[in-house]
Amino acid sequence: MRKLKLQVQMSVDGFIAGPNGEMDWMVWDWDDTLKKYVSDLTDPVDTILLGRKLAEGFIDAWQANISIPEMADFAHKMIDSPKIVFSNTMKTCDWINTEIAQRELVEEVTALKNKPGSDIIAYGGASFGASLIQHGLIDEFHLFINPVAIGAGMPIFNKLEGYQKLNLVKATPFDCGITVLQYIK
């Protein structure tokens, strides 16, 4: 069975965006070591899952980054990988290598995990990430903890109805102040 990984940036106090979706608090001056970590994380991935709101910025941003020499290789990975967008409102899309999920979340993700292939990665928007977590669909968490507390915002662990025990595999601090916590279920 394929693994579903979640990669998400979050504040020390557990938010992935401010109350209105603000992300100006995130650290983006990543050194080569952190970039390599992300590259190693995504190398075995052959499918990307996105919620609609994140997809709208994500796909266009990587398309724009393809012309930046230091970003081109990773941008190609993001553009060339098949992407599945989960949306209740979109029925079609014009993005390259992208399709809209046809089934409800649990059924679609379970079917994807049972198909032959490599790892799957989800990039969370708050609602989409919270739904994946709520239904126990994430096998591996990669939480990029930024060195900031924002006080209020959009959480991803807010739909849990009980405990979801996680096992810390690795904690990796980086010079920019981000610490990546890797957990498995």
pLDDT digits (tens, 9 = 90+) for 82-100: 999 998 888 888 888 989 9
Task: Quote the distance between the C-alpha of residue 174 and its chain's center.
Answer: 19
Q: What is the mean pLDDT of the chain?
A: 92
CB 137 within 8 A of CB 4: yes
Q: Beta-carbon neighbour count of residue 185 at 10 Å?
A: 12
| 47-56 per-position pLDDT tens digit | 999 988 777 7
Distance (Å, whole) CA 36 – CA 150: 27
Q: Which domains does the chain have, with CATH numbers?
A: 4-184 (3.40.430.10)
Q: What local confidence, expressed as pLDDT, does residue 57 receive?
A: 73
Taking the model in full, what pTM does it have? 0.92
CA nearest to 133, candidates 27, 34, 52, 49 = 49
pLDDT tens track, the chain, 185 positions: 999 999 999 999 999 999 999 999 999 889 999 999 999 999 999 999 998 877 777 777 777 778 877 777 888 888 889 999 998 888 888 888 989 998 999 999 999 999 999 999 999 789 999 999 999 999 999 999 999 999 999 999 999 999 999 999 999 999 999 999 999 98
Q: How open is the CA angle 147-151-154, to the nearest 5 degrees?
A: 90
Give the per-residue pLDDT at 63. 76
Dist CA 158 CA 126 (whole Å):
9
> Is the distance from CB of 14 to CB of 155 less than 8 angstroms?
yes
Amino acid 55: pLDDT: 76
